[in-house]
Amino acid sequence: MTRESILELLESIRNGQTEPRDALAQLSKLPYEDAGVAKIDHHRSLRLGLPEVIYAKSKTPAQVAEIFTRMAAAGGDVIATKATPEMSVAVRERVPAAVFHETAAIIGLKQTEPKLPLGPLAVVCAGTSDLPVAEEAAVTAEYLGIEVERIVDVGVAGLHRILSQGEALKRARAVIVCAGMEGALPSVVGGLVAGPVIAVPTSVGYGASFGGIAALLGMLNSCSPNVTVVNIDNGFGAAYVGAMILRTAIRSVDISK
């Protein structure tokens, strides 16, 4: 349950629209619900302001569908990352409104009213081969209520391509940069923007890229001080951190008024 949904529940009790016993049944799932195959952390959105997300990889379609259905029943938005088409079929049999974002490998369900979006957050990828990771970041951020601007295929092999995106980068409150090979693009972007850059190494490249380790090490050794790094192919983690950065920035502004 979100802060807003709990406030609505408390208001409905005060107004006599909900019986205390019914409210207790809803709140009994806090802080988590034991679904057998998983303990679903409904309380996470109260602690962090952002919901728990299903990591679908290595789970069966039936397990993903069970967890997804229970999370959907709680009334919040639901995201499952690293999902397969087979998982999407299993989920949509039980939650028909769920949407499969194929490139991002995400199954999502939007159930809450959209708020004024935060951002914009620029999601940049070096090459078309990095698109699955970049789309995982972009789609995740959008489900978390962030306005996203996509900038694709602007790797350092043609430096003029990223330099031509100056206006878009200037608008961004934060930037996610996905790159494989030697992982140089985040350092270049870091030198062009005044905000935080979240670098995502991808497992794209020839043998000596070692499945993304070369890009990871290059990004960790970035000379741009505004660059931080998440794990290989972790577009979701970059989006989650980016959303928290933007939410914290707005909260700080509100407190200062």
- Mean pLDDT over 201-226 rounds to 95
**pLDDT tens for each residue of 32-47:** 555 556 555 555 555 5
Mean per-residue pLDDT of the chain: 86
- Mean pLDDT over 227-254 rounds to 85
Lowest mean pLDDT among 55-59, 112-116, 160-164, 205-209: 112-116
Lowest mean pLDDT among 178-182, 215-219, 243-247, 249-253: 249-253
**pLDDT tens for each residue of 1-16:** 555 666 677 788 788 8
Contacts of 124 (CB under 8 A, 6+ apart): 134, 151, 152, 154, 162, 165, 175, 176, 177, 178, 185, 189
What single string gives the DSSP state of each residue in the chain? Answer: --HHHHHHHHHHHHTTSS-HHHHHHHHTT-S-EE-SS-EE-TTHHHHHSS---EE-TTS-HHHHHHHHHHHHHTTS-EEEES--HHHHHHHHHH-TT-EEETTTTEEEE--SPP-SPEEEEEEEESSGGGHHHHHHHHHHHHHTTEEEEEE-S--GGGTHHHHTTHHHHHH-SEEEEEE-TT--HHHHHHTT-SS-EEEEE-S-SSGGGGGGHHHHHHHHT-S-TTEEE--TT-HHHHHHHHHHHHHHHHHHHHHH-
pTM value is 0.80
The third-level CATH classification (topology) of the domain covering 118-249 is Rossmann fold (3.40.50)
pLDDT of residue 32: 57
- Mean pLDDT over 113-126 rounds to 86
For residues 15 and 174, the model is more confident at 174
- Mean pLDDT over 54-79 rounds to 90
30: pLDDT strictly greater than 90: no
pLDDT-based confidence at 48, cuts 50/70/90?
low
pLDDT of residue 250: 62
Tokens of residue 46, six digits: 């109260």
210: pLDDT strictly greater than 70: yes
pLDDT of residue 15: 80
Tokens of residue 188, six digits: 């270049």
The rounded percent of the chain whose pLDDT value lies above 90 is 67
73: pLDDT strictly greater than 80: yes
For the chain, which residues make up each domain, given as ranges? 31-109, 118-249
